[in-house]
Amino acid sequence: MIQHEATLIDKAKRGNQPAFKKLYDVHVEPLFRFMRQYSNDTVQVEEWVQRAFIKAFNNVQSFKGNSRFATWLFTIALNEMRTDLRKPNILSFTNNELPEIHFLQEEERFIWSDSMKTLLHELDEQKRSVFFLYEVEGYSHAEIATMLNINESASRTTLCRAKQWLRTQWEQMEKAI
């Protein structure tokens, strides 16, 4: 955890709303990008993100600092999303429309085609989450394990299997062309 962030968290724990707003400003875009992979409904994603921040604000005292603040926040957001996806009639990533994938410049090393979006859509939730968190957002396996409530070796294995499956499917698509 960076020193500046630790200071902001300490202030937020003491009820300093401007400090929490700064934490929000730092983490809202990465969290939105991550949650966007689960739904192409921008309003739904915004709701998950908003609820995650509200829950984080209301429970910032429980943040122990054993992980990055982002890890803790992403875990809250995933729980909010999973709660909603258990309810009927939620527009989720499982429908036929694929979400647009927007990344910042430092992630331009990824070339996303419609075919790759389709393949990513076909990954199960855990593989898609691990792949996105590791390859796109740059989280460590330890952080991913905390977010997804799995162990570190499961994160590594899941990433390996996701990449292997994507590679195989991609090669099959290339042969078909």
Question: Which residue among 100, 121, 139 closes a domain?
Answer: 100
- Could you tell me if 96 and 137 lie in one domain? no
pLDDT at residue 2 in the model: 58
Question: Which residue among 85, 100, 115 closes a domain?
Answer: 100
Q: CATH number, domain at 145?
A: 1.10.10.10
68-82, 109-123, 129-143: which range is least confident on average?
109-123
- Could you tell me if 79 and 8 lie in one domain? yes
Question: Which residue among 49, 67, 100 closes a domain?
Answer: 100
Euclidean distance between CA atoms 163 and 169, whole angstroms: 10
SS3 of 16-56: the string is CHHHHHHHHHHHHHHHHHHHHCCCCCHHHHHHHHHHHHHHH
Smallest CA-to-CA distance from 109 within 136, 130, 131 is with: 136
- Could you tell me if 45 and 91 lie in one domain? yes
Looking at per-residue pLDDT, the higher value among 82 and 177 belongs to: 82
pTM as predicted: 0.61
Where in the sequence is the domain holding 25, given as residue range(s)? 1-100
The one-character DSSP state at 123 is S
